[in-house]
Amino acid sequence: MRIDIATLFPEMCERVFKESIVGRGIKNGFIEVYAHNIRSYTEDKHRNVDDKPFGGGTGMVMQAQPIYDCVKAISAQHKSPPRVIYLSPQGETLTQDKVRELAKESGLILICGHYEGVDERVIEELNAEEISVGDYVLTGGELPALILTDAVARLQPGVLPNEDAYSIESHYDGLLEYPQYSRPEVWKGRKVPEVLLSGDHAQVLKWREMMSLEVTKKKRPDMYRAHIKTLTEKFISEFKASAEISGNVDFSTLALSDELLKLIKRGKARSIEIAKNSRLEKGAYVILTDTFGVPKFIVIITKRLENSVQFRLLYKPKKEESND
């Protein structure tokens, strides 16, 4: 992949890629990144690239011509038409989904604005998409362009020193990471969690998964809800496929303790205690989740008693059948 940054401060960009992991990726030939000075394309006799806004007002506006010529000169060096992006506080906010999408392109041109903005016509003429890096005000598009470059570069094969980091990342996709610890085992009286010293890799994985859920639930409840929603939708569609159900089904959910879930998995529990005022009735489909809300089983209620329901297990995913 090739990334070109059109800017009034090319040295600022070059300094950053020299020093960073992106710089290593460039040196090792996994990605090409160039910075171009928009000022080199000015046709103004004083080399100006900005002028007063029509209609009056403070500040200066970057003129269309130097930006246009700079982008066209860069485009001509690309084998296939690159995607043109204008870093703008009015753009769509950059997300990891967007980064993954951009990482698949063979070429990107990033336009950095400054002053009070850019003449609107050049953005239209170039059909540039606008991307912001968040809802706060910076002095220019250079730092945003470098953020985008960094995020896209690290997804190019070969750029990250440890490619394994990838598979971990996809496993915890949509969740925050579990906490990490290194030596010493005790620091300022704070111990490393026992399980990490146990050497029991399966237990370590379980702990990390649980911590990942716990941390996300606490720090990013929005991400957590989205994660549970995705898991649940996937779970339901797998159930429907396996049960050859195509129509609409209403599901209730019940969160159960790990102990009770274990009994159910082994076929050793046939009823669940519920509140007197619960509206669960015979024939209802229920998703049983763990205490985090992660779906585990689907059951159908076979009998409603005052404080409990009896059920029949309809669905347990493949991976729930094997382990313990």
Kindly list the residues in this chain that would bind ligand 9D3 in the complex (CB under 6 A): 87-89, 113, 116-117, 132-134, 136-141, 144
Minimal distance, residue 18 CB to ligand 9D3, in Å: 22
If you count DSSP H runs as helices and E runs as strands, how many of each does the chain have, helices first? 11, 14
In the complex with ligand 9D3, which residue's Cβ is closer, 54 or 136? 136
Minimum distance from residue 56 beta carbon to ligand 9D3 (Å): 13
Return d(Cα 10, Cα 151) in angstroms, integer.
19
- C-beta closer to ligand 9D3: residue 138 or 305: 138
| Cβ closest to ligand 9D3, residue 113 vs residue 293 | 113
* Choice between 90 and 230, CB closer to ligand 9D3: 90
The pair of three-digit structure tokens given for residue 149, joined into one six-digit string: 């470059």
* Closer CB to ligand 9D3, 133 or 287, in the complex: 133
User: Considering the complex, what minimum distance in angstroms separates the CB of residue 284 from ligand 9D3?
Assistant: 49
In whole angstroms, how close is the CB of 128 to ligand 9D3 at the nearest point?
Answer: 12
Residues 6+ apart with CB under 8 A from 50: 60, 61, 62, 63, 114, 115
Shortest Å, Cβ 222 to ligand 9D3: 20
Q: 3-class DSSP state for residue 322? A: helix
Contact between 108 and 78 (Cβ < 8 Å): no
Cis check: omega of the bond before 184, within 30 degrees of 0: yes
What residues pair up with 109 in beta bridges, in sequence order?
4, 84
Which residues are within 8 A (CB) of 21 and not within 5 positions of it... i.e. 6 or more apart? 150, 153, 154, 159, 160, 161
